[in-house]
Amino acid sequence: MTTITRKDEVSIITFANIPYDSESTFICSVFSAAARENVVIDMISKAPVSAESTSVGFTFDDGDMPKMLKVSNEVKPAKPPMINSGNVKFIIKSADMIDGVGFAENVFKALAAVKANPILITTAVDEISVVVRESDSTDLEAELERIFA
């Protein structure tokens, strides 16, 4: 059985050009500052190191935007973070994903069918979480329900 959960009002913040030699220290400072501000961090995505730098991004509730702006000012990134708010997250969860094949293919078929570009994707053993623009969410939700029904 596959369940599809929708969460509205999702923001993403991405810190780019993090020097590789201070990557863990910087990311820890971001997460520590967010914890002090009581911001719940959800999906986390880290890019592979490229040219001695990397980037890290994560989601949080739109309502916590003022707190995340405070965090960004506190950690003083080398480059201002990219922030995208007003998005929708879908969690597609199924035990079939553990040992089955084609699960990710079906998620991307749904995205392609409605021409929705994912902003952020993370996975776990039995789920895929994908964030899309709010304007793409209604069509994507219907297509995911159709494919996984």
Q: What is the pLDDT of residue 25?
A: 94
pLDDT of residue 20: 85
- For residues 142 and 96, membership in a common domain is answered with yes
- Which of the listed residues 69, 85, 101 is the one where a domain comes to its end? 85
Euclidean distance between CA atoms 124 and 134, whole angstroms: 23
Verify that 124 and 74 share a domain, yes or no. Answer: no
Is there a single domain that holds both residue 20 and residue 79?
Answer: yes
Q: What is the pLDDT of residue 50?
A: 81
Domain range for 56 is 11-85
CATH of the domain at 141: 3.30.70.260
Distance CA 142, CA 144 (A): 6
The model's pTM is 0.91
Same domain, 69 and 36: yes
pLDDT (tens place) for every residue of the chain, 149 residues total: 899 999 999 999 999 999 888 889 999 999 999 999 999 999 999 988 888 899 999 999 999 999 999 999 999 998 999 999 999 999 999 998 999 899 999 999 999 999 999 999 999 999 999 999 999 999 999 999 999 98
Q: Enumerate residues 6+ apart whose C-beta is below 8 A from 139.
A: 114, 116
Tokens describing residue 32: 């520590």
- Please state, as a whole number, how many other Cβ atoms lie within 10 Å of the Cβ of residue 47: 13
The answer on 142 and 101 residing in a single domain is: yes
- Gap between the Cα atoms of 33 and 37, Å rounded: 6
